[in-house]
């Protein structure tokens, strides 16, 4: 029986004369990484060495290359999967890693989101329609000040309040104390208003610290958290998800700067496969350079139907403004969490009212009908 393979899809910049050599080079680099002629074991040649499946010209000088890699080489381990998919090839400036065609059951073995879009909706009691989110910042504030801010955002009726990803375990705002105070403040506000705002603290550090912080968050009544998979490391992220079935995870894109790993693949597919229930990405038209098409591709990768892998909620963010809410809702449609930080914090004394207006705008939005052509892909 032929060894099972997954297909890794790369885009390669090359002249026509060299593309076959480049493609073979990737197949070898991402499997045995040695001269194939020096391999005399027939089973390794047939079952382990990578294979060029197709080479397709996308544009002059730009090609899609599909490589079949033996599933057995990945050991069904996050660390080794990434190593085999884009380890050494990540060092080649002419190669970007775009997509994976998963053999049956492989992605499912990693588990995907344990709660996903539906689980997040249940947590905050929003059965349909987009959800709202903001961020506690600036770092430097002590826990009482952050807790007061959280209370006002909850008062404003936001669905989710997350720590800014810069809030770690700094001396001026120790994790356990901050999380306890912010969680209490949100719970007290919810009890008073009848709201169901969720508070998501930011977990960081090594696996030991992540576990301690998760337990401290649980002790504070928290059941959803923020985490930056590329900062903590994909293996730590995946392990924490797998052993914390009660916790929902929102992924943050900090340190995902390996742009040659296509954002829809990393922020959409891979973070989802490894267990993100929601994924934050930098929105088009804000202070980052992502295009609408790229943002749509990320959202699609997070949401597209995938039997055995729950949908992951797309969370566009980064320099978004309240004025753009209607446009963004028509673009992302209802299966989304809108994350607005700075523009809400700029409201100062009017934060509660502006928060209420943000929530009300999202709740009351009438989605453009017919669906704008640009949004139909979602």
* 296-335: contacts with its own copies (CB under 8 A): 318
Residues between 113 and 132 with contacts to its own copies, criterion CB under 8 A: none
The reply on whether position 159 binds its own copies by CB under 8 A is: no
The reply on whether position 44 binds its own copies by CB under 8 A is: yes
Q: Which residue has the tokens 């929530």?
A: 359
Distance, CA of 17 to CA of 298 (rounded, Å) = 33
Q: Which of 155, 159, 163, 164 binds its own copies (CB under 8 A)?
A: 164
The reply on whether position 294 binds its own copies by CB under 8 A is: no
Q: Between residues 60 and 257, which has the closer beta carbon with respect to its own copies?
A: 257
In the sheet that 337-339 helps form, which strands lie side by side, from edge to edge?
198-200, 160-163, 131-136, 337-339
Please give the distance of CA 77 from its chain centroid, rounded to a whole number: 19
The reply on whether position 259 binds its own copies by CB under 8 A is: yes
The reply on whether position 88 binds its own copies by CB under 8 A is: yes
Q: Between residues 216 and 256, which has the closer beta carbon with respect to its own copies?
A: 256
- The pair of structure tokens assigned to 84 is 């085999």
- The pair of structure tokens assigned to 241 is 């998800």
CA dihedral 161, 167, 173, 176 (to 10 degrees): 70
The reply on whether position 201 binds its own copies by CB under 8 A is: no
The reply on whether position 250 binds its own copies by CB under 8 A is: no
Q: Which residues, 6+ apart, have CB-to-CB distance to 105 below 8 Å?
A: none
The reply on whether position 274 binds its own copies by CB under 8 A is: no
User: Side-chain half-sphere of 74: how many Cα atoms within 13 Å?
Assistant: 27
Span near its own copies by CB under 8 A; candidates 151-159, 184-192, 232-240, 354-362: 232-240
Minimum gap (Å) between residue 166 Cβ and its own copies? 6
Span near its own copies by CB under 8 A; candidates 108-116, 191-199, 340-348, 355-363: 340-348
The reply on whether position 92 binds its own copies by CB under 8 A is: yes
Q: Between residues 174 and 326, which has the closer beta carbon with respect to its own copies?
A: 174
The reply on whether position 105 binds its own copies by CB under 8 A is: no
Alpha-carbon distance values, 165 to 87, 137, 286, 341 (Å): 27, 9, 18, 12
Q: Which of 2, 15, 43, 364 binds its own copies (CB under 8 A)?
A: 43
Minimum gap (Å) between residue 347 Cβ and its own copies? 8
Q: Between residues 253 and 311, which has the closer beta carbon with respect to its own copies?
A: 253
The reply on whether position 61 binds its own copies by CB under 8 A is: no
Q: Which of 24, 254, 356, 361 binds its own copies (CB under 8 A)?
A: 254
Q: Determine the size of the site formed for its own copies (CB under 8 A).
A: 86
Q: Which of 111, 144, 334, 342 binds its own copies (CB under 8 A)?
A: 342
The reply on whether position 291 binds its own copies by CB under 8 A is: no
The reply on whether position 165 binds its own copies by CB under 8 A is: yes
Residues between 15 and 34 with contacts to its own copies, criterion CB under 8 A: 25, 29, 31-34
Minimum gap (Å) between residue 186 Cβ and its own copies? 20
The reply on whether position 184 binds its own copies by CB under 8 A is: no
The reply on whether position 42 binds its own copies by CB under 8 A is: no
Binding mask 205-224 for its own copies (x = CB under 8 A): xxxxx---------------
Q: Which pairs count as long-range contacts for 204-209, CB under 8 Å and 24+ apart, including other chains?
A: 204/168, 204/169, 204/228, 204/231, 204/232, 205/168, 205/169, 205/232, 206/232, 206/236, 207/232, 207/236, 207/239, 207/240, 209/169
């Amino acid at each position: 029986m032929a060894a099972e393979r997954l297909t890794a899809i790369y885009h390669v910049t090359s002249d026509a004369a060299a593309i076959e050599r480049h493609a073979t080079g990737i197949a070898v680099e991402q499997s045995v990484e040695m001269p194939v002629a020096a391999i005399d074991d027939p089973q390794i040649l047939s079952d382990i060495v990578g294979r060029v499946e197709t080479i397709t010209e996308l544009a002059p000088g730009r090609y899609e290359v599909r490589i079949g890699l033996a599933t057995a080489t990945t050991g069904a381990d996050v660390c080794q999967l990434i190593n085999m998919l884009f380890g050494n090839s990540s060092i080649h400036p002419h190669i970007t890693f775009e997509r994976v065609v998963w053999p049956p059951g492989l992605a499912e073995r990693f588990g995907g989101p344990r709660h996903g879009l539906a689980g997040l909706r249940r947590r905050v009691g929003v059965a349909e329609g987009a959800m709202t989110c903001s961020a506690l910042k600036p770092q430097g504030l002590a826990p009482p000040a952050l807790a007061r801010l959280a209370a006002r955002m909850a008062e404003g009726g936001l669905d989710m309040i997350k720590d800014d990803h810069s809030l770690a375990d700094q001396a001026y705002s120790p994790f356990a104390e901050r999380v306890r105070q912010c969680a209490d403040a949100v719970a007290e506000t919810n009890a008073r208003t009848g709201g169901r705002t969720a508070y998501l603290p930011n977990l960081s550090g090594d696996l030991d610290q992540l576990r301690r912080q998760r337990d401290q968050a649980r002790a504070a009544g928290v059941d959803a958290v923020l985490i930056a998979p590329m900062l903590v490391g994909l293996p730590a992220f995946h392990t924490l998800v797998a052993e914390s079935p009660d916790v929902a995870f929102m992924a943050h894109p900090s340190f995902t700067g390996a742009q040659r790993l296509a954002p829809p693949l990393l922020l959409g597919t891979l973070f989802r496969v490894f267990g993100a229930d929601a994924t934050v990405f930098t929105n088009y038209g804000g202070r980052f350079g992502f295009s609408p098409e790229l943002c749509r591709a990320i959202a699609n990768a997070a949401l597209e139907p995938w039997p055995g892998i729950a949908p992951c909620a797309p969370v566009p963010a980064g320099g978004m403004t309240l004025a753009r809410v209607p446009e963004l809702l028509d673009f992302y449609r209802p299966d989304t969490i809108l994350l607005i930080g700075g523009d809400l914090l700029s409201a100062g004394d009017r934060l509660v009212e502006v928060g209420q207006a943000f929530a009300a705008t999202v709740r009351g939005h009438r989605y453009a009908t017919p669906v704008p052509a640009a949004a139909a892909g979602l």
